[in-house]
Amino acid sequence: MARMKFICDAERCIECNGCVTACKNENEVPWGVNRRRVVTLNDGVPGEKSISVACMHCSDAPCMAVCPVNCFYRTEEGVVLHDKDVCIGCGYCSYACPFGAPQFPSNGTFGLRGKMDKCTFCAGGPEKHGSQAEFEKYGRNRLAEGKLPACAEMCSTKALLAGDGDMVADILRTRVIQRGKGAEVWGWGTAYGNAKNGAKS
């Protein structure tokens, strides 16, 4: 069974924000919530690097560990999802996440914090796949349509890779061999662990 992973190739990302736009459009993400963002390191300095950041669907997800109501679950495909009917919007996951993935929409006049929203790897939620309820709460379920996440499929330079861990690692390995540099994958060790820290496949 596939284990879905994201990789952002910092050597290729041109900070076009196409992934952010694709995500917002595909999932009709509400105003004020960005499931995916592009972060630029050393902005303005020659050699600056940009990376596209969203939920990395960690192998050992800290958000799952700290959630007081146990609203998170992991699908068979290794995607970390949450149930908005169970979430109480406490924000603990937001403090635990090393990638700043959990987002909280502001509701009403006084900006009350709503239930958590995050990248779903375009895999919907616990509602019936392809249902209107699922779309309204979690966005499109592209994975159940046999497609990869919109952000990765829309990426113009193919900096953002998504799919089965073996496949994306294989693609990146080919690139690194061809160009002779840029093997450092931002966030890989944190999200998926490494051999020293007992990595899961």
Partner 1 sequence: MKTRMMVLSAAAAALLLAACGEKSQGLRGASGVAAPAYNGTGVASFTSPGWKAGDAQSWSQELRARGQYGQNEYTRITHK
Positions that interact with partner 1 (CB under 8 A): 1-2, 69-73, 75-77, 81-83, 86, 123-126, 128-130, 141, 143-148, 152-153, 158, 161-164, 167-168, 170-171, 174-175, 178
Minimum CB separation of residue 42 from partner 1 in Å reads 27
On the CB side of 32, how many CA atoms lie within 13 Å of its CA?
A: 9
Residue 11 or residue 83: which is nearer to partner 1 going by CB? 83
Q: Is 109 exposed, middle or buried (0-12, 13-18, 19+ CB in 10 A)?
A: exposed
Minimum CB separation of residue 48 from partner 1 in Å reads 24
Residue 42 or residue 128: which is nearer to partner 1 going by CB? 128
Q: Comparing C-alpha atoms, which of 102, 83, 74 is closest to residue 200?
A: 74
Residue 174 or residue 197: which is nearer to partner 1 going by CB? 174
CA dist., res. 108 & res. 28, Å (int):
19
Minimum CB separation of residue 85 from partner 1 in Å reads 8
Sign, CA dihedral 96-126-27-111, equals negative
Minimum CB separation of residue 47 from partner 1 in Å reads 24
Residue 38 or residue 71: which is nearer to partner 1 going by CB? 71
CA dist., res. 108 & res. 59, Å (int):
35
